[in-house]
Structure 1
Amino acid sequence: MARVPIEPVYGNLQGIKSSQLKQLQRLYQQRLPGDCFTTPEFAQRIAAISTDLGQPVCVYINRRGQVIRVGVGTLRQTRIPPLELPRYGAERLSGIRCISTQLKLEPPSESTLTMMAIQRLDALVVLTLTGGGFERRGGGATGYIKETYLAHLVPHPETNWTVSPPLSLDVLTGQDFSSLVEGLEEEFRREFVGQAVDQQGDRVLLVGLQTDGITAQRFQDGLEEVTRLVETAGGEVLQILKQRRSHPHPQTVVGEGKVEEIARAVQTIGANLIVFDRDLSPAQVRNLETQIGVRVVDRTELILDIFAQRAQSGAGKLQVELAQLEYRLPRLTGRGQAMSRLGGGIGTRGPGETKLETERRAIQRRISRLQQEVDQLQAHRARLRQQRQHREVPSVAVVGYTNAGKSTLLNVMTNAEVYTADQLFATLDPTTRRLVVPNPLNQEPLQILLTDTVGFIHELPPSLMDAFRATLEEVTEANALLHVVDLSHPAWQSHIRSVMSILSEMPIAPGPALLVFNKIDQVDGDTLALAQEEHPQAVFISASERLGLETLRQRLGQLVHYAVSC
């Protein structure tokens, strides 16, 4: 005779007797009608077990009336992990309801309702039990249910759920469960369709953490920058959640309560991606994804995704793939099919995406081959630079914060056709063009090479610095630098410091630099006066409006003459 498998009981099992455990396991054999929340007999049976244990009990039931999970403790202690729930998305409920007991005569707490929202339960039935109001009949405990509460989600941003007033058990068991669920599903579907109109990319919840040492202004500037990064990557930030802590939580970055708030917000707004404004460890990403059930992307992975979209040349794609694989290699642990990165969207694009779920050893071999190719690329570019130097053509590298207008400036000065857009990292591959500038000695005009380089960003990820060293060496090998600054950006001073910090970390000190403030047509007089006071030697232009370009050409001639003379 085949043995009946013993179903597991979850939650807090410490101190439970074997006879009590068997009572809990027998609940799996029960089957409820599909049109009711529960039956009086089943509710009283759960109440009796809970009374005997002196602890809450939670029973999870699917729409076919089958008990699929039994646990001892609160909803938090017994909840179904997000990865084990049906992955319907924001337009659907999970198809599971929970009947729980509560030893206090009060409505379900916000923590309990949050757990209901995270699991997207069809409904939550709370049976409140009277303290000491139990009788012993025939040697067994019969629980007396004082009153019940019925809670369920609602598809409205203002409120996540609704809770009924206290109900008698007879009133609760007489309500039509299937009609309620069908109505809710239809409401969620309509709400989801309304949100999804004209929304092709990822729906993002942005999370920002302000720690000690970060000023409020810098924190806000960082959030705005990450928002721009999300938009550049093709996503839309639906909501921003913030938290202030002295230091990041080692397991989940933010605190436990904030993790619950994030999970609740994800369900409310229908987000399919969470982006953090900082870099996360592999363990932090895994912990967050396990608790919330939605993909989590940090700042570096977001930038890598943009680079994957922007890389056009073979060299650029090569460097992006190398950076992606080196970044993702330690993050492969725990990535099963349930959280596969091969589904598309932010953080999944790029030449190396099909390698992410292969064996670690194969990825390491691929990284070694890519590293060799990058080294060859570096040597090839070094030979090209030597040829240019042999021809005695001075070179000027255009550097600056991303979206400062470097490519636009190159286009208007050299009639180049470099792609430009009001986006971060609009161009990735370097472009070099010839330019004739006045000779400060009133002799024959000078010919120079003007090279547009990849834009910098605050705390440029080390993986990108390493992978793009062949590109960034265009900066170190140039005779001089043209440092372009977007004066219309509120954080232009911080951008200057970020670029200077990155340049100071170059293995070879770059040549002399000329500071150029761009987009002066978009700033007020006070900002312009402040920049002129702080940087009296700078040049002020508007590349798009062709303002100040002749002055820039003259200053370029002086810069190149000085750099070559030195």
Structure 2
Amino acid sequence: MGTPFRCARIEAVIETIYGNLQGLKASQLRQLQRLYHQRLPGDRLTTSEVAQRVAAISTDIDQPICVYVNRRGQVIRVGVGTVRQTQIPPLELPRYGAERLSGIRCLATQFTEEPPGEAVLTAMALQRLDALVTLVLSGQGFERRGGGASGYVTATYLAHLQPESGEPGAERSPGTWLVSPLRSLEDVCQEDFLDWVEGLETAFRREFVARQVDTDQDRVLLVGLKTDQMEMQRFQDGLAELERLVDTAGGEVLQTLRQRRPRPHPQTVVGTGKVEEIALAAQTVGANLVVFDRGLSPAQVRNLEMQLGVRVIDRTELILDIFAQRAQSGAGKLQVELAQLEYRLPRLTGRGQAMSRLGGGIGTRGPGETKLESDRRAIQRRIAHLQQEVNHLQAHRARMRQQRQHQQVPSVALVGYTNAGKSTLLNVLTQAEVYTADQLFATLDPTTRRFIVTDPMTRKPLTVLLTDTVGFIHELPAALVDAFRATLEEVSEADALLHVVDLSHPAWLSQIRSVMQILSEMPITPGPALIVFNKIDQVDGDNLSLAQEEYPQGVFISASDRLGLETLRQRLIQLVQYVTQDN
């Protein structure tokens, strides 16, 4: 993490030295390796003897060094460089939660009397170290603190993570870390480490319990990247929609982080500094999932999870998870499983240990989850089988449509952006009882109902089949388009469309464009569409006037309040008569 650092590793018979070893003599390397044989008392941060020996070696090689010690007092890592340059990768750290520390402390040397900088403290926070003891080494102009014994160490700084409640009297970054004033080495050596760290973890535990409302919920960080080609409004709308998607999937959004770059970073999407910021934010707020507002390649997911230490998913995987929750019918579950497997197949080698999860939260649910434990060939065989099943489903629905066509019953499909109110409109027009909710993708399985209206000219009843379909979304994932082709054919094969628009949504114009783009990319061009603006009871006069000006042929209704339905019926009759006469 951070700026790429030129480093090497010397594999000794027993131990490894990390960091910048260039120019070091063999005798100096042996001194560094001997640090692994040091043992600290379990109840002390350090001892004067160990600290002075570390300082002597650092002075001899004229470079800072870091020594990482576990709570048993064993040295587990020795590195040449700063804390940031020698830090332990997240996946190599012990497992710990937001209420615990990692059980590792660091003794680090430096040649200036300045307190540890933000880069060093960030590295401490990313590793969730028990403590960082900075040994200030003697040099010209330094004043020894506390009149302690002679040696290489003139003074120390003690830094540690800090609960948001905080403690007065020290320089700190709110809710992140606390740095003590300069202290003598003897003072730090006398600190009762075990009692001190247990009290710190107790404070973290109280804070964690206080904010952990629902332990079953994923605690989510959202990450948005705005490139030069993206409009700011579209970027903001996309993040707002991503938050709704997380809420629909059952997660809790804790924080949203944004970055502006000319183009995505090929390895981590966002820049190196932003990756560190995300990792620190995840540690600070206790997030266990990071969701990006765009698609991620398998390599990007792998790189991000290694550096962040938490699960990472993209927008597509989030949508697939929602579909996995919503699928009720056998056909719906079949298509969701196919979409999940086709999406995850190239990611089998990219997720590493994450693939062993079984139903552990957002992005891990669905009928295809257990198959991810199998090898690539087994999953490919499963995909081939599912594709055959979808083809059979496609053929079955084609036969059903042919029967309706023989009966000369016109069909109209309700299409539109997700949560536009299609299911509510179907229920109002046909007295159906389709599930409705103020959620994205509340409807997944298509539902067809008969709708009978009276032709005002002939006074004869006219029967129309209305089909409620799955809602569209901006940049509908390709895996869903392919897997749901049997369902989407209900749209392309319909005689006409009712394009339902949520006029109360701030991005209604953008949603119209997204739906029209998806319709234009279908293999078979759908029939003519009547645009229906819904939820006018929640719209101000300016938005209503704009819609009427932009779409003078549109129909304006409120399905929930039954406003404008008679006008819609008459326009629907005209639309059906037009398509049936044309045929």
Q: Is 1:461 aligned with 2:477?
A: yes
Provide the C-alpha distance between the structure 1 equivalents of 2:507 and 2:495, rounded to a whole number of angstroms: 28
TM, length-normalised to structure 1:
0.96
Shift of 1:341: 3.2
- Structure 2 residue matching 1:537: 3-state secondary structure: coil
Give the alignment of 1:230-309 within 5 angstroms. 230-309=246-325
Provide the C-alpha distance between the structure 1 equivalents of 2:220 and 2:297, rounded to a whole number of angstroms: 20
Q: Is 1:99 aligned with 2:115?
A: no
Give the alignment of 1:352-367 within 5 angstroms. 352-367=368-383
Structure 2 CA distance for partners of 1:525 and 1:215, relative to 1, 3 Å:
same
Provide the C-alpha distance between the structure 2 equivalents of 1:31 and 1:40, rounded to a whole number of angstroms: 12
Provide the C-alpha distance between the structure 2 equivalents of 1:150 and 1:178, rounded to a whole number of angstroms: 15
1:471 match:
487
Deviates more, 1:546-555 or 1:432-441: 432-441
1:428 match:
444
Q: Is 1:542 aligned with 2:558?
A: yes
Shift of 1:551: 1.2
Asked if the contact 2:301/2:350 (under 8 Å) is kept, the reply is no
Deviates more, 1:383-392 or 1:229-238: 383-392
Q: Is 1:444 aligned with 2:469?
A: no
Asked if the contact 2:359/2:365 (under 8 Å) is kept, the reply is no
Q: Is 1:18 aligned with 2:26?
A: yes
Provide the C-alpha distance between the structure 2 equivalents of 1:150 and 1:49, rounded to a whole number of angstroms: 21
Shift of 1:5: 5.0
2:16 match:
8
- Structure 2 residue matching 1:318: 3-state secondary structure: helix
Provide the C-alpha distance between the structure 2 equivalents of 1:163 and 1:170, rounded to a whole number of angstroms: 18
Provide the C-alpha distance between the structure 2 equivalents of 1:299 and 1:178, rounded to a whole number of angstroms: 44
2:169 match:
none
Asked if the contact 2:409/2:463 (under 8 Å) is kept, the reply is yes
1:49 match:
57
Asked if the contact 1:341/1:356 (under 8 Å) is kept, the reply is no
Structure 2 CA distance for partners of 1:493 and 1:329, relative to 1, 3 Å:
same
Q: Map Cα deviations across residues 12-43 of structure 1 (whole Å, 9 max, x no partner).
A: 22222222222111111111011111000100
1:152 match:
160
Deviates more, 1:12-21 or 1:52-61: 12-21
Deviates more, 1:187-196 or 1:199-208: 199-208
**Letter aligned with residue 533 of structure 1:** E
**Letter aligned with residue 199 of structure 2:** G
Deviates more, 1:193-202 or 1:556-565: 193-202
Q: Map Cα deviations across residues 406-447 of structure 1 (whole Å, 9 max, x no partner).
A: 001111111111111100001100000000123254241210
Asked if the contact 2:355/2:373 (under 8 Å) is kept, the reply is no
2:206 match:
190
Provide the C-alpha distance between the structure 1 equivalents of 2:290 and 2:384, rounded to a whole number of angstroms: 31
Identity %: 77
Asked if the contact 2:494/2:526 (under 8 Å) is kept, the reply is yes
Asked if the contact 2:419/2:439 (under 8 Å) is kept, the reply is yes
Provide the C-alpha distance between the structure 2 equivalents of 1:417 and 1:144, rounded to a whole number of angstroms: 80
Structure 2 CA distance for partners of 1:96 and 1:282, relative to 1, 3 Å:
same
**Letter aligned with residue 520 of structure 1:** I
In the alignment, which of 223, 240, 244 is matched to residue 207 of structure 1? 223
Deviates more, 1:460-469 or 1:440-449: 440-449
Asked if the contact 2:282/2:288 (under 8 Å) is kept, the reply is yes
Provide the C-alpha distance between the structure 2 equivalents of 1:315 and 1:339, rounded to a whole number of angstroms: 26
Q: Map Cα deviations across residues 532-565 of structure 1 (whole Å, 9 max, x no partner).
A: 1111111111111111111111111111110111
Shift of 1:183: 0.8
Provide the C-alpha distance between the structure 2 equivalents of 1:39 and 1:468, rounded to a whole number of angstroms: 66
Q: Structure 2: which 5+ runs fail to align?
A: 1-11, 143-149, 166-173
2:145 match:
none
Structure 2 CA distance for partners of 1:384 and 1:343, relative to 1, 3 Å:
closer
Q: Is 1:39 aligned with 2:47?
A: yes
2:97 match:
89
Q: Map Cα deviations across residues 496-547 of structure 1 (whole Å, 9 max, x no partner).
A: 0000000000001100100000000011111111111111111111111111
Provide the C-alpha distance between the structure 2 equivalents of 1:143 and 1:550, rounded to a whole number of angstroms: 92
Asked if the contact 1:420/1:426 (under 8 Å) is kept, the reply is yes
- Structure 2 residue matching 1:151: 3-state secondary structure: strand
Provide the C-alpha distance between the structure 1 equivalents of 2:43 and 2:78, rounded to a whole number of angstroms: 21
The two structures, once aligned, show a CA RMSD in angstroms of 1.6
Give the alignment of 1:470-549 within 5 angstroms. 470-549=486-565
Deviates more, 1:550-559 or 1:156-165: 156-165
2:197 match:
181
Give the alignment of 1:406-417 within 5 angstroms. 406-417=422-433
Shift of 1:336: 3.5
TM, length-normalised to structure 2:
0.93
Shift of 1:132: 6.8
1:139 match:
none
**Letter aligned with residue 382 of structure 1:** A
- Structure 2 residue matching 1:361: 3-state secondary structure: helix
Asked if the contact 2:311/2:354 (under 8 Å) is kept, the reply is no
Shift of 1:60: 0.8
Stretches (4+) displaced over 6 A: none
Shift of 1:343: 5.0
Asked if the contact 1:207/1:241 (under 8 Å) is kept, the reply is yes
Shift of 1:143: 6.3
Shift of 1:459: 0.7
Structure 2 CA distance for partners of 1:54 and 1:62, relative to 1, 3 Å:
same
Structure 2 CA distance for partners of 1:143 and 1:472, relative to 1, 3 Å:
farther
Provide the C-alpha distance between the structure 1 equivalents of 2:282 and 2:96, rounded to a whole number of angstroms: 13
**Letter aligned with residue 145 of structure 1:** V
Q: Structure 1: which 5+ runs fail to align?
A: 135-141
2:4 match:
none
Provide the C-alpha distance between the structure 1 equivalents of 2:427 and 2:499, rounded to a whole number of angstroms: 16
Q: Map Cα deviations across residues 47-72 of structure 1 (whole Å, 9 max, x no partner).
A: 11111222111111111111111111
Q: Is 1:27 aligned with 2:35?
A: yes
- Structure 1 residue matching 2:452: 3-state secondary structure: strand
